[in-house]
Amino acid sequence: MPGRPPAHHGRAPSGVLVRALALLLAAVAVALPGAAPAAAESYVPVSGAGSTWSQNALDQWRANVKQYGMTVNYSGTGSSDGRNQFRNGTVDFAVSEIPYGIKDSGVVDPAPSRKFGYMPIVAGGTAFMYNLKIGNRRVTNLRLSGEVVAKIFTGAITTWNDAAIKADNPALAASLPARRIVPVVRSDGSGTTAQLTNWLAQRHGGLWDAYCAKAGRSTPCGQTSNFPVVAGRGFVGQSGSNGVSGYVAQDGNVGTITYVEYSYAVATTGFPVAKILNGSGYYTEPTAQNVAVSLTKARIGADLTQDLSQVYDESSDRRNYPLSSYSYMIIPTAQEANFNPQKGKALGAFAYYFLCEGQRSVDRLGYSPLPINLVQAGLEQVRRIPGVTATTIDIKNCKNPTFSADGTNTLATTAPQPAECDKKGATQCEVGTGGNKTPTQTGSASG
């Protein structure tokens, strides 16, 4: 890969050659856009906290840059805590799915006094991972409409053999068990919860407000980082994305369902996710391609925050996954709260890495790479970090799978159309989803 230190064999080069090689590597790293950081560079450690939705991608990037002498410490404490820690100056950066300013239970999350900016880091889909069996056979091809999802997470649908779930799953209808549904929700302040509840508020506001009122919340309930739980409804709370996905994945927890970034089903637990009915009448899952399609409808604000209302409502493209979004890194733009130019140099180098090189492999982790407009915007944001070694990137060399020569989103253009058995109706695909592709033999249709 361009910019990576070459391997050497035999005798070590002389001191003159070592110095020359170091200078050459430094020049190549700057000259070749998207290149890895030069081995001759030195970096101080930087620290961050926040999102678990994004953590699998961040952890992979942090491991990758260790070879270049970077130490990036990150604690997945939830988006709300990450924003709080950045506000209080206890971390150098934060990661969140939502910006400052959210009104939660009548209280507004205030912006920090320190100067900051938002930088997109990775896209993905909030998925509904579940643990369901018919006899001893695991179900891997579950389908759910948005209204059914809303009713499950507001306690209006409580058993797996509910008539509405049967309607979504014609091939499973005769055998769905009369087992109680156990919704597993985040117990901590979470960007994933905020994403789910924003969708609930916009698409199923009546159900959501009625549930919130029973939980003692004022209505309209709107978006919230803290999922309200009504006593006696049988909901289970767990902290972090690993907490909710790990709970659902336990052998003894059949009947559970949770909301979590797709990566935790694909790369962490190997569990299936429900295909969700979109506005075109097809059930889809949040693959990298489907998320790329969906985010072509996202409206991007001047501060790079996202408006997903058109993603939720999209009906013109049958590949759309309705709960698609992207995550932000909150970066410092001034020398404040113990942030100095040495940290800025390290954080900037890390950002250059993940905005370009790091995007190339996120689909294997269950995410979707950022489209070219968000990468370009992110590269401009990097220049605002105090102390950054500003680099002019030829974005064509990033080799991001969403990029194309004419500026269109290649991943969205080449995304496959759903199978006809994924269309709402009397047939149902057998093929598995998420991290478990084993077909569910239904006898109805194959996918």
> Do residues 259 and 227 lie in contact, with contact meaning Cβ atoms separated by under 8 Å?
no
Instruction: Look at residue 364 in the predicted model and tell me its pLDDT.
Output: 96
Residue 15 pLDDT grade (very low, low, confident, very high; cuts 50, 70, 90): very low
Higher-confidence position of 6 and 428: 428
Q: What are phi and psi of 436, to 5 degrees?
A: -135, 95
Higher-confidence position of 14 and 248: 248
pLDDT in tens, 163-207: 999 999 999 999 999 999 999 999 999 999 999 999 999 999 999
- When pLDDT is averaged across residues 31-55 and rounded to a whole number, the result is 78
- When pLDDT is averaged across residues 333-348 and rounded to a whole number, the result is 97
Residue 6 pLDDT grade (very low, low, confident, very high; cuts 50, 70, 90): very low
What would the two tokens of residue 388 be? 């950054």
pLDDT over 80 (residue 14): no
pLDDT over 80 (residue 294): yes
Instruction: Look at residue 445 in the predicted model and tell me its pLDDT.
Output: 39
Q: Is 207 left (phi over 0), alpha (psi -120 to 50) or beta?
A: alpha
pLDDT in tens, 311-336: 999 999 999 999 999 999 999 999 99
Instruction: Look at residue 40 in the predicted model and tell me its pLDDT.
Output: 60
- When pLDDT is averaged across residues 358-379 and rounded to a whole number, the result is 95
Question: Does the model's pTM come out above 0.85?
Answer: yes
Bridge partner list, 275: 143
pLDDT in tens, 387-404: 999 998 888 889 899 998
- When pLDDT is averaged across residues 400-422 and rounded to a whole number, the result is 93
pLDDT > 70: what percent of the chain? 90
- When pLDDT is averaged across residues 221-227 and rounded to a whole number, the result is 94
What value does the mean pLDDT of the chain take?
90
Q: Please, how many CA atoms are within 13 Å of residue 170, restricted to the half-sphere of its CB?
A: 14
Q: Rounded to whole angstroms, how far apart are CA atoms 135 and 309?
A: 40
